[in-house]
Amino acid sequence: MGKFSVLAVCVCVLAGCAAAGAEGTMLSDNTALISATGRSVEDRAEIVDNALKEAANVTSAHGYRYFTIISADNTSTSITMAVPGQRYFVQMPGNRAAATFGPAAYAGGMYTAPDRTVTRFKPGLDIVIQMYRQGEIDPNQEGVWTADVVLGRFVSAQ
């Protein structure tokens, strides 16, 4: 799978997600788990960008130059909560004749609005990467990412 194919898969996995940040956790000497989370559904491509940038940062920080994406998992969560309806207390003037005959027409009556539900969506992406040093992998092979290129650093031809 090519670099753009992997990116397209990540974007599809994250349909409706956006990024707030990413963090990396080493799983072994040359593999890492990159977790990216988001806050909103409007900027879904950012979560993929943040995950790739964090993968490149982890790769560089551990002395590697290249990485491949072994797996990508959608870790988005959706929570629906019931919110009780608001209560209103009715205060009626004392000298007014009641035109209606219900609990709300009498002083001290109470009305409760209907309950409502609120859905909270937190987008997320986990990718597992394998890292390689110069000479351990062909950088022209499909699916190989160069950390310096992802981070926007100039890479001289070798």
Residue 95, C-beta contacts closer than 8 angstroms, at least 6 positions apart: none
Has residue 4 got a pLDDT over 90?
Answer: no
Does 21 score more than 90 pLDDT?
A: no
Token output for 29? 């000497």
Residues 6 or more apart in contact with residue 63 via CB below 8 angstroms: 133
Report pLDDT for 157.
Answer: 52
Instruction: Decide if pLDDT at 12 tops 90.
Output: no
* Residue 106 CB partners (closer than 8 Å, separation 6+): 90, 92, 98
pLDDT band at residue 39 under the 50/70/90 scheme: confident
Average pLDDT over residues 76-104: 71
* Percent of the chain residues topping a pLDDT of 70: 72
Which backbone phi and psi does 52 adopt, to 5 degrees?
-65, -40
The confidence score (pLDDT) of residue 103 equals 53
Q: What mean pLDDT, rounded, does the chain reach?
A: 80
More confident residue, 11 or 111: 111
User: What pLDDT is stored for residue 112 in this prediction?
Assistant: 82
Residue 1 pLDDT: 47
Per-residue pLDDT reduced to its tens digit, 131-155: 999 999 999 999 999 999 999 986 5
pLDDT at 88: 82
The confidence score (pLDDT) of residue 44 equals 76
Domain ranges of the chain: 3-76+123-150, 81-116
